[in-house]
Amino acid sequence: MNSTIQFNLQAPFQPTGDQPEAIRQLLDGIGKEYKHQVLLGATGTGKTFNMANIIQETQKAALVIAHNKTLVAQLYAEFKEFFPDNAVEYFTSYYDYYQPEAYVPRHDLYIEKETDINEEIERLRLAATTSLMARKDVIIVASVSCIYGLGNPEAYGRVVINLNVGETYRRNTLLRRLVECHYTRNDIDVASGTFRVRGDSLDVIPAYQDKQGYRITFFGDEVERIVEMHLVTGEIRREMESVSIYPAKHFITEEEKLEAAIQSIQEELEERLEYFRKNEQLLEAQRLEQRALYDLEMLKEIGHCSGIENYSRHLDQRAPGTAPWNLIDYFPGDYLLFIDESHMTIPQ
């Protein structure tokens, strides 16, 4: 983490009534390393403001979990007002529509997974993990979906591309690394998660930013200039001495782990096929073999496949039954977790 910016709470009022004592007791509990504390209060009594004051006093990164997207949006807006100079991020499920894959053996019917991903929410999710990697003054307001599987944070951090003016960096190597980070080349259209090459210049449009991109100018193999620019107007916003480009997807396939993962997937496939054949479930065996072999071929050829999250245990080299990585794993070891409306959120 690079940022040394402090949390800076900005509010036109001070804690009043029961708030100062509640804040004091909660801070005292944090100092005594209490694992759990409960703040009781009716709607409109300023619980969010209390949370903001605790973040301000402790200067710790914070994850705030709420039980629905409406409440997440409300809390996100409030924290953005309280901390305009800090990284306040939004993290919810990015599916507008989700139909899981299914198989009906009686009719030998395979129903493919069908999803409709909200690109803006995907950008906000990437912005959240990018902030956690890049700085300490981060508040993420999330729905319960933040505990669902996400890519390995260590792999995500290892593929970050760091560029500095004056350094030597072969342009072709940089283009290959961008593709490995799931950026796509598009020399015509300007869109998040793409890059384009024009003469000695390389434009990169980060998948986690809204209206800005970076132009990297080369002189031979030397990085001559880095600027931040407005995506639509092309206006140069500022000159930069360095830039870090984070991946365009959370699931990163590391080349050195891919071969071992493919071997592990093949071994599990053989085990499952043997099970189905022993139980005379030949249709299931055929369908599984067809799907898995196609995925394995895609992994060998391009290092990625549709539904790659199904193989995350193998790609991460985790033991069977272990929990997948999730957003919480992207936080530093010492952070604050607030569960809003906990009587509704915890049961989820």
Digitized pLDDT (tens) for each residue of the chain, 348 residues in all? 455 789 999 999 999 999 999 999 999 999 999 999 999 887 777 899 999 999 999 999 999 999 999 999 999 999 999 999 999 999 999 888 788 878 777 777 878 778 888 889 999 999 999 999 999 999 999 999 999 989 899 999 999 999 999 999 998 999 999 998 999 999 888 889 999 999 999 999 999 998 899 999 999 999 999 999 998 888 999 999 999 999 999 988 888 789 999 999 999 999 999 999 999 999 889 989 999 999 999 999 888 888 888 898 998 888 888 888 999 999 998 999 999 988 889 888
According to DSSP, the residues that pair with 243 across neighbouring strands are 163
Task: Give the other-Cβ count within 10 Å of 338's Cβ.
Answer: 20
Q: What is the pLDDT of residue 1?
A: 45
Task: Give the other-Cβ count within 10 Å of 293's Cβ.
Answer: 13
Phi-psi region of 150 (alpha: psi -120 to 50; beta: other; left: phi over 0): beta
Two structure tokens written together for 47: 């619980």
Q: What is the pLDDT of residue 232?
A: 81
How is 93-127 classified by DSSP, letter by letter?
--EEEEE--EEEGGGTEEE--EEEE-HHHHHHHHH
297, 303, 308, 310 alpha-carbon torsion, rounded to 10°: 70
- Counting Cα atoms < 13 Å in the Cβ hemisphere of 11 gives 18
Contact 155, 131 (CB under 8 A): no
* H/E stretch holding 136: none
Predicted structure pTM score: 0.88
Euclidean distance between CA atoms 264 and 258, whole angstroms = 10
Euclidean distance between CA atoms 75 and 77, whole angstroms = 5
Euclidean distance between CA atoms 208 and 131, whole angstroms = 10
The residue type found at 64 is: V
Euclidean distance between CA atoms 152 and 314, whole angstroms = 12
How is 191-238 classified by DSSP, letter by letter?
-TTEEEEETTEEEEE-TT-SSEEEEEEEETTEEEEEEEEETTT--EEE
Q: What is the pLDDT of residue 343?
A: 83
Contact 226, 243 (CB under 8 A): yes
Give Rg (Cα) of the chain: 23
Task: Give the other-Cβ count within 10 Å of 200's Cβ.
Answer: 13
Q: What is the pLDDT of residue 256?
A: 79
The residue type found at 199 is: G
According to DSSP, the residues that pair with 168 across neighbouring strands are 222
Q: How is residue 248 annotated by DSSP?
A: S
Contact 134, 2 (CB under 8 A): yes
The residue assigned the tokens 């496939």 is 269
